[in-house]
Amino acid sequence: MADAASGSTDKSVQVKLVLLGEAAVGKSSVVLRFVSDEFQPNKEPTIGAAFLTQKCRLEDRVLRYEIWDTAGQERFHSLAPMYYRNAQAAVVVYDITKASSLEKAKSWVKELQRQANPNIVIALAGNKLDLVQSSSSTPGAPSSESEDEADDATATPGEAPSPSGGESEGGLRQVPREEAQAYATEAGLLFFETSAKTGEGIVDIFTEIAKKIPIEHILAATRGGAGRPGAAGGRAGGAPEGAVNLEENANKPKDACNC
Ligand code: GTP
Ligand code: MG
């Protein structure tokens, strides 16, 4: 669509985005798909956090996402505020084959709503959609039975094997789409089901976030406040110590995302 024509390329707005969620739900894989359009079947756990960037072209503006991909392991939890502080956007990821990961996602959302920037745009992403699509269930078309179950709210965690490493195809869905969607609506979140493996839904997350970001507000803050509130102004105000910085990824020449 719109070519970032008429010299508007340098009007790129920097948007700080943080990914949060339980370990092994696929945060790094979602980012890798978005930034490099790649997938690694045996991606190693993130230590601390990783930093990557990607551009996203809107009709009249180019956004430059500065992405903090946090580590989901519990021992890193206390670092999270340093990454979501001043973030304009957050993607909270869970694994649709693991019910407990939605509970963890909800607690991240609560924490963000209490402690992050009040205008933060939050998206909830149910990842590993490919695992349930390759089994018998119909993609995106839940049976009426599961609607009834959704009334009972919490899907029973427990018995079903959880292929959190992505090793077994055909894992069981533990989080009904409509349950997560209902929660997202109630909490005021964007909602997606995604697969970092196939790429389904990944670009949509970042495109829809981009549309909701109050760009004019950020630009005004950047101009008026000398890059103040976490908008532009160098590397994410308060880059935490000990962060694993994957700048190499950021240095690869990249066109705008598919937005
Ligand atoms: P931490 O860094 O420990 O918090 O984990 P993470 O949330 O970044 O998860 P990561 O991206 O490292 O993925 C964990 C495992 O799940 C890896 O083996 C991935 O290959 C796999 N995985 C991630 N996304 C998907 C997906 O969409 N489908 C399938 N089948 N596997 C996935
Ligand atoms: Mg990771």
Smallest-distance ligand from the CA of 170: 1
Rounded to the nearest angstrom, the distance between the alpha carbon of 198 and the centre of ligand 1 is 12
Q: Cα separation of 13 and 215, whole Å?
A: 7
Class of the domain covering 2-250: alpha beta
| 240: DSSP letter | P
Please report, rounded to a whole number, the percentage of residues in the chain having pLDDT higher than 70.
Answer: 66
Cβ pair 70, 243 in contact under 8 A = no
Domain assignments of the chain as residue spans, ordered by start:
2-250
Cβ pair 241, 48 in contact under 8 A = no
Q: What is the pLDDT of residues 168-227, one digit of tens each?
A: 445 599 999 999 999 999 999 999 999 999 999 999 999 999 999 987 777 777 666 543
43 lines ligand 1 (CB under 6 A): yes
Q: Cα separation of 93 and 95, whole Å?
A: 7
Residue 198 alpha carbon, nearest atom of ligand 1: 27
Mean pLDDT, rounded, for 7-34: 88
Grade residue 58 by pLDDT with cuts at 50, 70 and 90. confident
Report the predicted TM-score, pTM, of the whole model to 2 decimal places: 0.77
Dihedral Cα 154, 186, 14, 244, nearest 10 deg: -20
